[in-house]
Chains A and B, each alone.
Chain A
Amino acid sequence: DIQMTQSPSSLSASVGDRVTITCRASQGISQGITTYLAWFQQKPGKAPKSLIYAASSLQSGVPSKFSGNGSGTDFTLTISNLQPEDFATYYCQQYNSSPPTFGGGTKVEIK
């Protein structure tokens, strides 16, 4: 199985800040020009919500304050201008091969 490692596991930030979360895959998750990496946001008691797929493509309806980057095995999720509704836990997930696997999550808390 491909292991997905996120860092940090938690971070504190203020409203208006820009934060970056890192995700590393234990092996490459690209085929050709496509990278099979997604990012999700989860709030307490709610289901994960898709933010980004193919490493950098925004899911429909997701604001452009969220951006994804990376290739090979190293990826980032950046959130600009943090707002109260952005404080949540974020997960990366590889869907290049079976079984698909998730990172352990990064909890973004209010400073």
Chain B
Amino acid sequence: QLQLQESGPGLVKPSETLSLTCTVSGTSISSNSYCWGWIRQSPGKGLEWIGTISYSGITYYNPSLKGRVTISVDTSKNQFSLKLSSVSAADTAVYYCARSPIGARYYFEYWGQGTLVTVSS
């Protein structure tokens, strides 16, 4: 059974880097059938796509995040990660990881349960 589980600090200071990991079970993250993405949800901005990484490591990012995003994959641990630099209060949100089929890399068919990240000093 497919499971995605986000993990990482729940509190990040302004100007620092937010780092989250998504651990995948029930399927191999290196399968050529899927892409892996991050989406966040805040009361003010609703659901917002952050970025996606393909099984081969090609990345796609939301231009609105202005180069602050890095997504990477660790196939040895069956995990993928998100780094968001120079955070501010506007980055406070619930962060979700999700799986997409390779033919529709921006369709999020399965989601993790989400993790709340608060940006505050």
Contacts and interface: CB of A to CB of B under 8 A. Distances in A.
B101 to A, nearest CB: 9
Interface stretch (A16-24, A64-72, A74-82, A91-99): A91-99
Interface residues of A, number: 19
A78 to B, nearest CB: 20
B46 A99 contact: no
Given A47-B96, A48-B47, A100 B113 contact: no
B47 A59 contact: no
Contacts of A100: 49, 106-107
B113 A99 contact: no
A36 B70 CA distance: 26
Given A98-B60, A101-B49, A105-B46, A46 B113 contact: yes
A99 B65 CA distance: 11
A12 to B, nearest CB: 22
B106 A49 contact: no
B109 A53 contact: yes
A87 B60 CA distance: 34
Contacts of A49: 111
Interface of B: 46-49, 60, 62-64, 96, 104-114
Given A46-B113, A50-B109, 8 more contacts: A36-B106, A48-B108, A48-B111, A93-B108, A95-B104, A95-B105, A99-B63, A105-B46
